[in-house]
Amino acid sequence: MLELKKIKKQFNGRTILDNFDMQVKDNQITTIVGPSGAGKTTLLRCISGLEKIDSGSFTLDGKPFDPANNRDNDNVIGVVFQDFQLFPNLTVLDNITLAPQLVLKQSKTDAEKRAQKLIDQLNLTGKEGLYPYQLSGGQKQRLAIVRALAMNPKILCYDEPTSALDPDLRQTVEDIILGLKKQNVTQIVVTHDMEFAKNIADQLVRVEPIKA
């Protein structure tokens, strides 16, 4: 379980998150909802260590945890960015296997074997040799998910997973997220889409804008 206690985050003296508390339970889907500009992305960036918090603390499985200085490969926080941020110079397969090889020190064959399982599971079979620009929006997103999963993340975070997609792909994302839950992937999903949030959430957390 990941626990956030009294997290405070400011930008240039403006408070975005103030004494923010949250618990992310294992194997559950925690959705973070709130209006645009409320600080949802900021919260996700704090959890994944991309932003330093100003005060407060995290614990992971009861132990103190600092996302911004997290080097333990058993505690990876995976992120599926809103714009995916795939690596355009690498093929689908290399996008997935790069970090497992360099960071987790998996052999190429090993990394590719694991990648192939995820590729098949998320319906990217046959795309292994393509470059990201050759994929559709939905395929790009699934690649982003596979790339994150290949690092065996403790928690997988999504920022607005429905925003860059056609409405008819929303169901697919739902299915993927619910499917991963069945495989005991702990997930945090940021969205401003209440209906989507309710469809998938085990727990719904609200982020409200702070009046200056």
Partner 1 sequence: MLHYVSQILPSLLSGAWMTIKIFFWTLIASIPLGILASLGLTSKIAPLRWILKFYVWLMRGTPLLLQLIFVFYGLPIIGIIFQRYDAALFAFILNYTAYFAEIFRGGFQSIDPGQYESARVLRLTRGQTLRKIVIPQVIKIVVPSIGNETINLIKDSSLVYVIGLGDLLRAGNVATARDVTLLPLVLVGIIYLLMTAVATYVLRKVEQHYRAWR
Residues at the contact surface with Mg ion, assessed by CB under 5 A:
41
Q: Is 42 in the site for ligand ADP (CB under 6 A)?
A: yes
Binding site partner of 38, from partner 1, Mg ion, ligand ADP, none, Cβ cut-off 5-8 A by kind: ligand ADP
Give the binding-site size for partner 1 (rule: CB under 8 A).
Answer: 27
Q: Choose which of 26, 61, 66, 83 interacts with partner 1 (CB under 8 A).
A: 83
Backbone conformation region of residue 198, classed left if phi is above 0, alpha if psi is from -120 to 50, else beta? alpha
Can you tell me the distance from the alpha carbon of 111 to that of 96, in angstroms, rounded to the nearest whole number? 8
SS (H, E, C) 17-80: EEEEEEEECCCCEEEEECCCCCCHHHHHHHHCCCCCCCEEEEEECCEEECHHHCCCCCCCEEEE
Using the contact rule CB under 8 A, the part of the chain among 78-86, 105-113, 118-126, 181-189 near partner 1 is 78-86
Using the contact rule CB under 6 A, the part of the chain among 32-40, 71-79, 88-96, 125-133 near ligand ADP is 32-40
The two three-digit tokens of residue 7, written as one number: 């997290």
Binding site partner of 154, from ligand ADP, Mg ion, partner 1, none, Cβ cut-off 5-8 A by kind: none
Q: Choose which of 37, 126, 137, 179 interacts with ligand ADP (CB under 6 A).
A: 37
> Min. distance of Cβ 100 from partner 1 in angstroms?
9
> Min. distance of Cβ 111 from partner 1 in angstroms?
13
Evaluate whether 71 touches 23 at the Cβ level (below 8 Å).
no
Closer CB to Mg ion, residue 4 or residue 96?
A: 4
DSSP helix/strand/coil, 153? coil
Can you tell me the distance from the alpha carbon of 137 to that of 165, in angstroms, rounded to the nearest whole number? 6
Half-sphere exposure of 24 (CA within 13 A, CB side): 25
Q: If residue 131 lies in a helix (H) or strand (E), which one and from where to where?
A: none
Q: Is 16 in the site for ligand ADP (CB under 6 A)?
A: yes
Evaluate whether 97 touches 111 at the Cβ level (below 8 Å).
yes
* Residue, CB closest to Mg ion: 41
Q: Is 79 in the site for partner 1 (CB under 8 A)?
A: yes
Q: Choose which of 8, 59, 98, 116 interacts with partner 1 (CB under 8 A).
A: 98
Q: Where on the chain is the footprint of ligand ADP (CB under 6 A)?
A: 11-12, 16, 34, 36-42
